Amino acid sequence: MPPDESKNRRAATSFSDYRGFRVYKLPLAGVKHMYHEIAGTPVLIAALPLKECIKLPGIKDGTLFQKNVRQSLGSSNAVNKGIRSSITGDKRSDFFFFHNGVTALCNKMQMDGDTLSLSGLSIVNGCQSLNTILSCSETVKKVDDAFILFRFYEIPQRDRADKISIFTNSQSAVKARDLRSNDKRVLAIKKAYELKFPTGYFITKRGETAPADKHKEHVVELSFHAKNLVAWQTLRPTLSYGETKIFDKYFETLFKNKDYPPENIFALNAWMNEVQATWVAANPLGLNESLLAMKAYAPYHHLYAIAMCFAISSNQSSLVASPSKAWEAAKKANMISEIVKIAGQSLNMALKTATNAPQQSNRVFSPQNWIKSKPCLDGINNAIGVYFNMLDMMEGGVEVKKRLDQATILPVEAFEYRWSAD
């Protein structure tokens, strides 16, 4: 409909009763809207100015959201903070495009000229948004360029209304990892990796699957790659389990360099595939049951231990070896499986040592707390150092050490400073 030329139009708000339900009259003059009937149900879609939203009855006392699955979560909620920022920021005119819209149900809906009469109005999706918009009312009243999508449905049937309320609030939550899937740095890494390794595929989105013609072991998934980066490049596997923090707090550190070598991506994935092959029911490395129970994050300590095998052997314990250089050297010496074994057993020994260490009074050792603490990294490093030092005293150890040196001692140019993630 053509916009109303009068910017000073006042809302013709009035109430009456319709079969026991309050009737709200919404003025639509100058409001872009579309009225239609879908599956026998009257539907009206409108781009309401935010200043009209704050006039809806029942926002403050919550009565407008009686059919909603929840009430307002408050201004400190992360999502509500984002909504508020969009309203008060310099991108206010794009609010309509940033927001998914509001779903409103009523028992009876009737158009009379430019006025929409709504009987028994209830919001079933949009409670957080409307409460946040109301909290910004002083700003909202002064702007004419901010709109929000509204969907009004005439749904008198209680059971049908309940289903709409549930289904419109049960979508899969969008995670921080999802919001980064289209980041230009992530896409640049994906492009470079797939160009370098035609048999590989870099998955950036949840639910995405690699094409059937790609090599299964060459498929890299964004979230797992980020966790691998944390364990190897920052030497902080204690942070690898926190996906939300990785894609929020640490994202700039991990993906600041869109030119991260595809060879390193391939190698990190290959090392982790070798690690995961040992974290199976058969337990070929004889890992402690407590470690196996922490499969969601303990394997990243195993990957960290592999990185430290190269650093300690090369006398570069404060630096980080190139994953691809490490992979190439280990593969050339046919020692990949052996290094994975040493790293896993060192992690196992570190846990055993920590378990047997004296505890403070009234304290009980917790493997779950230990695996997330920095002392566990010192324990892993010490276990690796002890293993290397004892090789000369073991039967056949001299030959093993010779082969390990060939596989793990890298030139200084193969190392770099660890990325900071503390």
Average pLDDT, the chain: 89
Say how far apart CA 307 and CA 8 lie, in whole Å.
Answer: 68
Predicted confidence (pLDDT) at residue 3 exceeds the cutoff of 60: no
Identify any residues that bridge with 26 across adjacent strands, giving them in sequence order: 116
User: Do 196 and 264 form a contact (C-beta atoms < 8 A)?
Assistant: no
Task: Give residue 172's pLDDT.
Answer: 65
Give the pLDDT score at 147.
96
pLDDT at 316 over 80: yes
Confidence of residue 422 (pLDDT cuts 50, 70, 90): low
Q: Are 71 and 127 in contact (CB under 8 A)?
A: yes
**359 CB contacts (<8 Å, ≥6 apart)?**
365
Neighbours of 79 (CB within 10 A): 12
Q: pLDDT (tens digit, 9 = 90+) per residue, 353-376? A: 999 988 777 788 899 999 999 999
126 in Cβ contact with 69 (< 8 Å): no
pLDDT in tens, 153-193: 999 998 898 888 888 877 666 788 888 998 999 999 999 99
Q: Is 66 helix (H, G, I), strand (E, B) or coil?
A: coil
Q: How confident is the model at residue 70 (pLDDT cuts 50, 70, 90)?
A: confident
Which positions ≥6 away from 185 have C-beta within 8 Å?
A: 255, 256, 258
**Is 70 exceeded by the pLDDT of residue 406?**
yes
For the stretch 94-136, pLDDT in tens is 999 999 999 999 999 999 899 999 999 999 999 999 999 999 9
**pLDDT at 166 (0 to 100):** 83
Task: Compute φ and ψ for 111, nearest 5 degrees.
Answer: -90, 130
Mean pLDDT of 401-419: 95
Tell whether the model's pLDDT for residue 15 goes beyond 70.
Answer: no
The pLDDT of residue 134 is 94
Q: How far apart, in whole angstroms, are the C-alpha atoms of residue 410 and residue 316? A: 9
User: In the prediction, which pLDDT does 131 show?
Assistant: 93
Check residue 303 and give its pLDDT: 98
